[in-house]
Structure 1
Amino acid sequence: MSRHVQTGDAEAREPLLTRYSKVPDEDSDEGVIIFDKSASSGSVSSQVRLSYEEAVEAAGFGVFHYGLLVVCGWANASDAVEILCVSFLLPTARCDMNLSSSDMGLLTASIFLGMMLGGYMWGYLADKKGRRKVLVLSLTINGLFGGLSSMAPWFSVFLVMRLISGIGVGGSIPVIFSYFSEFMPRMRRGTMISALATFWMGGNIVAAGLAWLVIPRNWTEILGSSSFQGWRLFVVLCSIPSLTSALFFQLLLPESPKFLMEAGREKEALHVFKKMFQMNMKGKEKDFTVLGLSVNPKRDLEESRVLGKGGLAWALKKALMPIRQMFQGSLKGRSFVLLVIFFCISFGYYGLWMWFPELFSKLEKGGSPCSNVTQFSPMRNQSCYPVKTAVYMEGFIIAASNLPGNIFTILMMDNMGGKILLSCSLLVSSLSVFLIYMVKTKYQSLILSCVFSGVSVIAWNALDVVGTELYPTHLRSSALGFFTGIGRIAAIMGNVVFGDLVDNNCWVPILLVSGFLLTGGLVAFLLPQTKHTELT
């Protein structure tokens, strides 16, 4: 019952649904699917359990997948909202909480520190306990502690709350792409993952739009409270996407069928494929709702033989086992390449992105952003009120500039493949950063930042696709969690380097970012091509 039947070329060209029919199964009330070979080999029929890729294809593509895209996309957007929330609240929160420049730097780094701590932990749990459970829990932690931070009376409490919220974000970002990819037929996977990544831009726009709408208004008169300023209401509103996403996952979506098959939970996986087929074929005269699946739940047994058992040491070895497996055998080369790429793009993107306002301020003094070498801080000797709306308008424009890059990725991902898009976009991003030397005005810098935003988003989208396709199911979430954790370390380092050098040696971090992006683009050519590959 568990072996696969090899088919000829003629069969392979037939539509998948026409090659199967339902027959009773002694072990099941519902029956299993058999492979009908009568068209090419007389009247002989052989019973076979479908592999994961065959089952996904047989379940069809339609309403279920688009609904999944909306729910997962909203969760992806909620992560973007939480990350960008801090940068938008700083201009007013710094006055209300009497923050120094070092305090603001610590607050900016806290979200990345939390994501670094949570990335691998959540990814490991997702590979062991299930994708949906981890998504519900991490999104709930993200939204709950993000919302509670709005009521923090002291900066230390606010900092801890944002750190814990960041741990939640660190879980949902890598797991959401693993979960989503495991419902997709391979010929549509690249396009759909690119569409999912596009929702990050939506989160940017939501955060910038909310900040523009909420923070500048005088909520003291409206709410009748002098202690609940506009930035606090903004923080509360930013927590809603995460909490509603957790609710949607809990009530509307099933566990990943690929994970269920790997865990040996065949009946549950059958139910998921049945639900997918019913939704995709609703209104059509199709009767193909039950599949027999080929499962192979041997992973935990193999790990037990390798690690043995024995208290805390055994538990620690087991937790680190996925990292060990990532850097062994055929996975070793691609893991080292991805480590370099994640470090380079995160150092460059987040290092430069968080300091664009500082560079804009320098440009207002005349010359290029690196021509002014005197000590300067836009936070000194400035009043927080009335709130200046220009920063929110610029943030909104830069967020919207992601749209062309996202559209390009969706249209070209399945044609060109993630490897080529990743390499080329990183190389062009490197060039756009280098051209900062030629900028002379604030508006030129705004245009350049929009170009950088539109091009770099292609690299991020391609990395999301490639990362999910390079690793087997039992390592997928752990790998993405590990690499995003490496990326957060790089993001913290990028912000520290800019903070130390942007005043006196501005050219150093800018050239460093350009060099890292160039390195990432060149190294990406070493990755294997994953276009239309089957998930293992």
Structure 2
Amino acid sequence: MSESRESESGDSKLPKIPEQQEEPPQNDAAADFETAIDSAGFGMFNILLLVAAIPAAMGTVYETSTMSYILPSAECDLQLSLLDKGILNAITYAGMISSAVMWGYLADTKGRRNLLIVGYAADTVCVLGGAFSQNRIQLMVFKYLGGFCMSGPFAVLMTYLTEMHGRKHRQRIMMMVGIMFSIATLTLPGLAMLILPQTWDFHVWTLKLASWQVFVAITALPSLLSFVLFFFFPESPKFLMSKGRNQEAMTAFKIIYHLNSRKPKDSFPIKLLANEVIVPVKKHKEGKDVPIEIKLPMESAEVQDAESQDAKKSSLRSGFTQLRPLFTKPYLGLSLWVYLLNFCVLLGQNTMRLWLPQLFASINEYEQLIDGQSESTSICNILEYSVNRTQNQLEAATRNDPNVECHVNITASTYTNNLIVAGAGFVAYMLAGFLVNLVGVKRIMTMGLFVAGCCSIGMYWSNSAISTVAIASLFVTMGSISATSVISASVNLFPTSLRTMIVSLEMMFGRLGSLLGNIFFPALMGLGCVPPFLMISSFMLAGCLMAAFLPLKNKAALK
């Protein structure tokens, strides 16, 4: 009351004082993303999001691993040679490599949620297309397209989940996602045990469907479920704020807050969001009133649209600017070192992992063949039997001779060993974070690669199914921990501004290694027992040497 009386009788400038005093609270109230997401809390929304992420993680794992389980069952129907099997294992990675740049651009321009919806919908179509394939060429085309479509959701899922949680919960969420991926890997051999031994023979119009095709069709369900579920979630508010779409970001925050607190959306404590659009320096100099610039994304859509073209150009320039340090002297050698290291690790890890179902199927069939005989089930005998059997089956299938029939002998026990190895991989992931922090990234990576390299060449001396499963489990365990450690090392070696680009390029080289390894492995199987395992061992030991000389302190732990 006293202020209003003074303003009526005093200086003409005094009435402006209340307006000047109202501005600072609005400045203070303009919250950045971290403040807003923390205010939205953690609760029912986050739990529902994690539930929706489970089929999403399963879909990404199934896309890269399904082929390895159907190869023993489908070799007669598709007339598969060893090289065909290698290409089917590898071609998904070719699709991922070819679309990585496109998906990265779309994720940063069109949004996380939209990409997840489109990506999982497209992957569902590709998986179902593969399930209805009647020959190996059709299956290869659909698997390539599946990899092309899945490359986006595979990368964006982690980003989306990160941006939906506050700093307090992010590390735990990433651990939860890792566990989801491991559980998905564990469910695949279980699903194979239930479906692939069946002798189903369906006819849909002119299409003939066997049990392996039913198996592939069922693996489309997680992607289909993810496509439906992500419709019910908002766009990442971090992405929306970075594009100046603060009104939409505020709506997203209110939805999260409402579900987490069970309070009305209008009671969300944050009333104004800060401008997080990266604006050129000139515009900062021209704009004298800071509060107007904070309100700009929320109140002036026309100005936002006018600036969008400049924003796209500046983001393109900033992209090239971000790449430039990777090709200059301080980081060029180190980045190439990391790329080559991940190439070696994933070549060995994914080649062995994807060929184990075929190897275990051959072991199971060979043991049934020599039942009661004293012959050794050494890995060399198994490989020789597998190569000869595949060649004979291919010849039988192509001759169409009624007296020589191509047949497969698949039982539930065929996939028991895969379940054991998948379980070992699950335990490895659970231990990886703890061990890396305790022992140090460099030390555990070096030791893991050394043990994996020894396990690979040690396969040569394996003379029983039990020892083969034990060695394979140890290899997968050490390989998983080493692959995790390589990414951790990359994050520690490079500054924040380069980390995203380094990890993206590193994964591209890793997928290239997976692609080449799965093609070379069957080619080397035809040459003898030692070459395929020697190849994997050589790359793992080469990775061990590179890891040993990385300029990284052993005491550096993940944070």
TM-score class, shorter-chain normalisation, is 0.7 to 0.9
Cα deviation digits, residues 285-309 of structure 1 (max 9, x gap): x95442533333237747636978x
Contact between 2:57 and 2:177, CA under 8 Å: does it hold in 1? yes
- Aligned pair partner of 2:516 in 483, 490, 493: 493
Give the aligned partner of residue 388 of structure 1. 411
Aligned equivalents of 1:74, 1:401: Cα separation in 2 = 22
The yes-or-no answer on 1:170 pairing with 2:170 is no
Contact between 1:211 and 1:392, CA under 8 Å: does it hold in 2? yes
What is the root-mean-square deviation of aligned Cα atoms in Å?
A: 4.1
**Residues 127/445 of structure 1: CA separation in 2 closer, same or farther (3 Å cut):** same
Residue type at the aligned position of 1:91: P
**Residues 394/376 of structure 1: CA separation in 2 closer, same or farther (3 Å cut):** closer
Describe the SS at the equivalent of 2:41: coil
- Aligned pair partner of 1:407 in 430, 435, 444: 430
Aligned equivalents of 1:235, 1:290: Cα separation in 2 = 47
Aligned equivalents of 2:432, 2:258: Cα separation in 1 = 30
Contact between 1:346 and 1:490, CA under 8 Å: does it hold in 2? yes
Residue type at the aligned position of 1:149: G
- Return the offset for 1:276: 2.4
The yes-or-no answer on 1:484 pairing with 2:507 is yes
* TM-score, L = length of structure 1: 0.76
Contact between 1:126 and 1:478, CA under 8 Å: does it hold in 2? no
Contact between 1:78 and 1:241, CA under 8 Å: does it hold in 2? yes
- Aligned pair partner of 1:379 in 380, 386, 390: 390
- Return the offset for 1:139: 1.4
Pairs within 5 Å for 1:296-375? 296-298=276-278, 301=310, 304=313, 323-324=323-324, 335-336=335-336, 338-356=338-356, 366=376, 369=379
**Residues 386/498 of structure 1: CA separation in 2 closer, same or farther (3 Å cut):** closer
**Residues 195/335 of structure 1: CA separation in 2 closer, same or farther (3 Å cut):** farther
Residue type at the aligned position of 1:304: K
Aligned equivalents of 2:334, 2:236: Cα separation in 1 = 25
Contact between 2:29 and 2:270, CA under 8 Å: does it hold in 1? no
Residue type at the aligned position of 1:92: S
Cα deviation digits, residues 233-260 of structure 1 (max 9, x gap): 11111111111111111x2222222222
Aligned equivalents of 1:422, 1:135: Cα separation in 2 = 34
- Return the offset for 1:371: 9.1
Describe the SS at the equivalent of 1:227: strand
- Return the offset for 1:270: 2.2
The yes-or-no answer on 1:254 pairing with 2:228 is no
**Residues 518/463 of structure 1: CA separation in 2 closer, same or farther (3 Å cut):** closer
Give the aligned partner of residue 115 of structure 1. 96
Moved more, 297-306 or 464-473: 464-473
- Aligned pair partner of 2:193 in 197, 212, 218: 212
Pairs within 5 Å for 1:149-160? 149-160=130-141
Contact between 1:33 and 1:292, CA under 8 Å: does it hold in 2? no
Cα deviation digits, residues 158-179 of structure 1 (max 9, x gap): 2211110111122221111122
Q: Which runs of 5 or more structure 1 residues have no equivalent in the other structure?
A: 1-25, 36-45, 309-317
Aligned equivalents of 1:357, 1:48: Cα separation in 2 = 58
- Return the offset for 1:122: 0.9
Give the aligned partner of residue 454 of structure 2. 434
- Return the offset for 1:75: 0.7
Aligned equivalents of 2:421, 2:127: Cα separation in 1 = 24
Aligned equivalents of 2:23, 2:407: Cα separation in 1 = 67
Please state which structure has a larger fraction of its residues in helix: 2
**Residues 53/283 of structure 1: CA separation in 2 closer, same or farther (3 Å cut):** closer
Pairs within 5 Å for 1:273-284? 273-282=253-262
- Return the offset for 1:461: 4.9
- Return the offset for 1:230: 0.6
Q: Which runs of 5 or more structure 2 residues have no equivalent in the other structure?
A: 1-18, 280-308, 368-374, 394-405
Moved more, 291-300 or 194-203: 291-300
**Residues 372/223 of structure 1: CA separation in 2 closer, same or farther (3 Å cut):** closer
The yes-or-no answer on 1:71 pairing with 2:22 is no
Residue type at the aligned position of 2:44: V
Moved more, 500-509 or 221-230: 221-230
**Residues 473/513 of structure 1: CA separation in 2 closer, same or farther (3 Å cut):** closer
Describe the SS at the equivalent of 2:392: coil
Contact between 1:122 and 1:170, CA under 8 Å: does it hold in 2? yes
The yes-or-no answer on 1:181 pairing with 2:162 is yes
The yes-or-no answer on 1:452 pairing with 2:432 is no
Residue type at the aligned position of 2:58: A
Describe the SS at the equivalent of 1:445: helix
Moved more, 372-381 or 69-78: 372-381
Cα deviation digits, residues 59-92 of structure 1 (max 9, x gap): 3233322322222232121111122111111112
Contact between 1:254 and 1:272, CA under 8 Å: does it hold in 2? yes
Cα deviation digits, residues 28-60 of structure 1 (max 9, x gap): xxx99969xxxxxxxxxx725333333333332
* TM-score, L = length of structure 2: 0.73
Contact between 2:351 and 2:517, CA under 8 Å: does it hold in 1? yes
The yes-or-no answer on 1:92 pairing with 2:73 is yes
Give the aligned partner of residue 290 of structure 2. none
Aligned equivalents of 1:67, 1:508: Cα separation in 2 = 47
Contact between 1:174 and 1:477, CA under 8 Å: does it hold in 2? no
Give the aligned partner of residue 135 of structure 1. 116
Aligned equivalents of 1:525, 1:139: Cα separation in 2 = 40
Describe the SS at the equivalent of 1:228: strand
Contact between 1:352 and 1:513, CA under 8 Å: does it hold in 2? no
Cα deviation digits, residues 400-444 of structure 1 (max 9, x gap): 22332233346678xx39x94586256324313313426442211
The yes-or-no answer on 1:290 pairing with 2:290 is no
Residue type at the aligned position of 1:281: S
Bigger Cα Rg: 2
Residue type at the aligned position of 2:240: L
Contact between 1:219 and 1:229, CA under 8 Å: does it hold in 2? yes
Moved more, 289-298 or 486-495: 289-298
Give the aligned partner of residue 222 of structure 2. 241
Q: How many residues align?
A: 480
Aligned equivalents of 2:359, 2:376: Cα separation in 1 = 11
Describe the SS at the equivalent of 1:201: helix
**Residues 379/369 of structure 1: CA separation in 2 closer, same or farther (3 Å cut):** same
Aligned equivalents of 1:354, 1:106: Cα separation in 2 = 11
The yes-or-no answer on 1:514 pairing with 2:514 is no
The yes-or-no answer on 1:267 pairing with 2:247 is yes
**Residues 218/498 of structure 1: CA separation in 2 closer, same or farther (3 Å cut):** closer
Residue type at the aligned position of 2:475: F
Give the aligned partner of residue 298 of structure 2. none
